[in-house]
Chain A
């Protein structure tokens, strides 16, 4: 077989494989891409860093935030000890056609960006990743059934990322979502579990550093207010 024929056979086979994915669509709306871009620009401006410097700073911040001893995050971490490689955005938010909000979290960083993005999507939200509680927030009584109505959480296949789907329509009147980090929690491989009153701890995520294996994403409900959830 001639070389051109071989290329044609491979091209046809790859095209067929691609065509078989006709049902796969990129469902993130353009507005969400722009919002993520704006949030990252804000983050860069906030830190006074750009480009690779910002990536390094974000890494240091994330590692500090993930330390199981609950250190307060600061930029005085040790970026040199962490690989200086490009990385995915810490999180992405995508509003689905049915109104659900899909949050993919890879690193516990830029909580204010995530909070403002969720609020812009109409979800009253309080997000704190750094171990501190927002004192303006009051916990809203939670039940397992209520939790399951509002949140759906899963690990993305093999990646260790957490995908959290929020159903805003299931939020009780006067309630908002709360997302935070549970530092030092030993939650094993179980899915969801009740912990600390009305809070729910999700399975371990963000195993970015060897010393941070007992960090979990914590999600719950708070009473909505201008100060706590923005509305």
Chain B
């Protein structure tokens, strides 16, 4: 696959997934652009990966973590985790996404790969370089935390 074809077919989905994780449209756009730039520079290697779009999303999110750690050490200029426009996030998803953004990094990665990129456990484990059982453990903890942010009437309906 050529880079342009890959970019065209994956860019919107990757942007939306990163946006869900960081909550700021400008920042998400910049992070994804940066990740694709790195993908372009290493395309021979990236194209051979099992799931290149997972590499892009992980790179964007890792760049965000690195960038945020560095910024915290220097000068506080504001909070990036506030800015998803109200019209784009319902109250329910707003609560859920706030919890998602507060998850430990590894749990958030697992949720992103398993539930947003829809990878299976084995593929997620290979992408992250961890055991499938570890993926399951992270997912279990993360889902329990996220579930608490979803209104209870859903669970009542499903439990019937």
Q: A17 is contacted by which of B14, B62, B93, B158 (Cβ under 8 Å)?
A: B93
| Chain B residues whose CB sits within 8 angstroms of the CB of A203 once the complex forms | none
Is B130 an interface residue, CB under 8 A from the partner?
A: no
Distance of B41 from chain A, by nearest CB (Å): 5
Complex CA–CA separation, A85 to B65 (angstroms): 10
| Chain A residues whose CB sits within 8 angstroms of the CB of B79 once the complex forms | 158
Stretch of A3-11, A134-142, A165-173 with 4 or more beta carbons under 8 angstroms from chain B: A3-11
Residue interface bits A85-105, CB-to-B below 8 A is 1, else 0: 111110010100000000010
Complex CA–CA separation, A35 to B34 (angstroms): 12
Would you call B63 and A86 a contact (CB within 8 A)? yes
Q: A14 is contacted by which of B19, B31, B111 (Cβ under 8 Å)?
A: B111
Complex CA–CA separation, A7 to B88 (angstroms): 23
Would you call A1 and B24 a contact (CB within 8 A)? no
Q: B36 is contacted by which of A33, A85, A207 (Cβ under 8 Å)?
A: A33
| Chain B residues whose CB sits within 8 angstroms of the CB of A3 once the complex forms | 140, 143
Distance of B158 from chain A, by nearest CB (Å): 6
Query: Which residues of chain B from 110 to 160 have a CB within 8 Å of any chain A CB?
Result: 111, 115-116, 139-140, 143-144, 146-147, 150, 154-155, 158-159
Which A positions have Cβ atoms within 8 angstroms of B? 1, 3, 5-7, 9-11, 13-18, 20-21, 23-26, 28, 30, 32-34, 36-37, 40-41, 83, 85-89, 92, 94, 104, 106, 156-161, 163, 207-210, 213
Which B positions have Cβ atoms within 8 angstroms of A? 3-4, 7-8, 11-12, 14-17, 19-20, 24-27, 29-34, 36-37, 40-41, 62-63, 66-67, 69-70, 73-75, 77-80, 82-83, 88-90, 92-93, 96-97, 100, 111, 115-116, 139-140, 143-144, 146-147, 150, 154-155, 158-159
User: What are 17 A-B pairs at a CB distance below 8 A?
Assistant: A10-B147, A14-B146, A15-B115, A17-B20, A17-B96, A17-B97, A21-B19, A21-B20, A26-B29, A33-B33, A33-B36, A33-B37, A85-B70, A160-B77, A207-B74, A209-B74, A213-B75
- Counting from the closest, the 3 A-B pairs by CB-CB distance are A158-B78, A17-B93, A26-B11
